[in-house]
C-alpha cells in the first residue's frame, strides 16, 4: 500500500493511497481522513463514503467539506473510487456505464466480470485492509453515500449488517431495478434476468430482510434534476411496511450536487457518530 498524497487538515491528515487489488485485478486508489486522535494512535470509529457516477476517490474529500466536523467527532472517513481503472478495464460507451460507474456490485457478464467486483472490493478487501493499517475501532464502522453511492451504501448495509453498524444516504438510487440508470447498468453487469437484480436493489432488500438498523437517515432535494431516477417514496414505503425507522428529509430548492451534500454533511456525520458509539 503506497501513500501517494498527504495533506494536513484540521489537525488531522487527508491521505490518498494506491495499492493492488486482487478483487479488481488492477491497481486501485482510496482516500482516507485521519483525525488527530487517529494520528496519535487512538482507535476511532470510521465511516465509508461511496461516491456517485463519474466520481473518484478524491471527489468527496475535496467537495463535501467533511473533514472539519469529522475532526471534531474523531471520525475516520474512508473514500474508495467508484469503479476499477486502467487500460485493461472495460470502459463502456457512456458516462453512466463502465469507468466511474461500478454500481458497487460484482458483475457476472463479460466483459465486466473480470474487473468490476466493487462489492467484494469494498466489503472484503478494502474493509479488511483499512482495519489492518489504521486505528479503527472494531465493530464501529458505518457507511454512507450519494446517488449511485447512496444505492451502494443502502444495499451493502442491508447485505452485510454484521460489518456496518450505521447507514445514511444523500439522494440515493433507491430502486435501481425500476429506473433507467439501474436498468442499464444491471443489464450489462448482471444480464437480462431481472430477478437477479433484486439482490442489489435497496427497496427489494428492505422487503426481503426487514428492519436491521435502529434508524436510517436519507436526505433528498426536491430540485434534484435526477429525482425521477431516485424513487425515495418507494424506500419510504418499504421501510414503513417492515417497521424500519427511516428519517427521510426532503428539501425545497436543493439539487443533486455537492452544495447539497455540503449543506447536510454535518448532520450525517453526527448521525453516524451517535449510532457508532451506542
Domain containing 12: what range? 2-276
C-beta separation of 141 from 165 below 8 A = yes
How far is the C-alpha of 240 from the C-alpha of 256, rounded, in Å? 25
How far is the C-alpha of 153 from the C-alpha of 111, rounded, in Å? 25
Strand, helix or coil for residue 40:
coil
From the candidates 83, 147, 166, 177, which is the catalytic residue? 147
Split into its structural domains, the chain has a count of: 1
**pLDDT confidence of residue 13:** 98
Shortest CA distance to 12 belongs to which of 59, 64, 73?
Answer: 73
What is the grid cell recorded at 44?
476511532
Residue 147 designated active-site:
yes
Residue 256 designated active-site:
yes
This model's pTM is above 0.85: yes
Core vs surface per residue 129-163: b (16+ CB within 10 A) or e: bbeeebbbbeebbbbbbbbbbbbbbbbbbbbeeeb
Q: How high is the mean pLDDT in each 10-residue block of the chain (278 residues)? A: 97 98 97 98 98 98 98 98 95 94 98 97 98 96 98 98 98 97 97 96 98 98 97 98 98 98 98 95
From the candidates 31, 168, 224, 268, which is the catalytic residue? 224
Question: For cell 432535494, what's the residue?
Answer: 221
Residue 253 designated active-site:
no
Shortest CA distance to 269 belongs to which of 32, 45, 13?
Answer: 45
Strand, helix or coil for residue 262:
helix
Q: Looking at residue 106, which CATH number applies to its domain?
A: 3.40.50.1820
In the chain, count H helices and then E strands.
11, 9
**pLDDT confidence of residue 278:** 82
From the candidates 200, 256, 268, 272, which is the catalytic residue? 256
Amino acid at each position: 500500500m503506497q501513500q501517494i498524497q498527504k495533506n494536513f487538515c484540521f489537525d488531522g491528515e487527508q491521505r490518498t493511497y494506491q495499492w493492488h487489488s486482487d478483487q479488481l485485478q488492477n491497481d486501485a486508489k482510496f482516500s482516507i481522513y485521519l483525525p488527530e486522535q487517529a494520528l496519535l494512535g487512538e482507535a476511532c470509529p470510521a465511516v465509508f463514503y461511496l461516491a456517485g457516477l463519474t466520481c473518484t476517490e478524491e471527489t468527496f474529500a475535496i467537495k463535501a467539506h467533511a473533514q472539519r466536523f469529522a475532526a471534531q467527532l474523531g471520525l475516520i472517513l474512508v473514500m474508495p473510487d467508484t469503479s476499477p481503472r486502467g487500460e485493461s478495464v472495460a470502459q463502456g460507451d457512456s458516462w453512466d456505464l463502465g469507468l466511474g460507474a461500478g454500481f458497487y456490485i460484482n458483475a457476472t457478464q463479460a466483459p465486466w466480470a473480470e474487473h468490476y467486483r466493487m462489492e467484494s472490493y469494498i466489503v472484503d478487501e478494502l474493509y479488511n485492509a483499512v482495519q489492518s493499517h489504521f486505528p479503527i475501532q472494531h465493530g464501529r464502522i458505518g457507511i454512507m453515500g450519494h446517488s449511485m453511492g447512496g444505492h451502494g451504501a443502502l444495499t451493502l448495509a442491508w447485505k452485510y449488517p454484521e460489518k456496518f453498524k450505521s447507514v445514511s444516504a444523500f439522494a440515493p438510487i433507491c430502486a435501481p431495478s425500476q429506473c433507467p440508470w439501474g436498468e442499464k447498468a444491471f443489464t450489462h453487469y448482471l444480464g437480462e434476468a431481472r430477478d437477479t437484480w433484486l439482490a442489489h436493489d435497496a427497496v427489494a432488500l428492505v422487503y426481503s430482510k426487514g428492519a436491521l438498523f435502529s434508524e436510517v437517515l436519507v436526505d433528498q432535494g426536491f430540485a434534484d434534476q435526477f429525482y425521477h431516477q431516485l424513487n425515495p417514496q418507494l424506500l419510504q414505503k418499504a421501510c414503513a411496511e417492515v417497521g424500519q425507522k427511516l428519517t427521510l428529509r426532503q428539501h425545497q430548492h436543493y439539487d443533486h450536487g455537492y452544495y447539497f451534500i455540503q449543506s447536510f454533511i454535518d448532520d450525517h456525520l453526527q448521525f453516524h457518530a451517535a449510532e457508532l458509539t451506542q
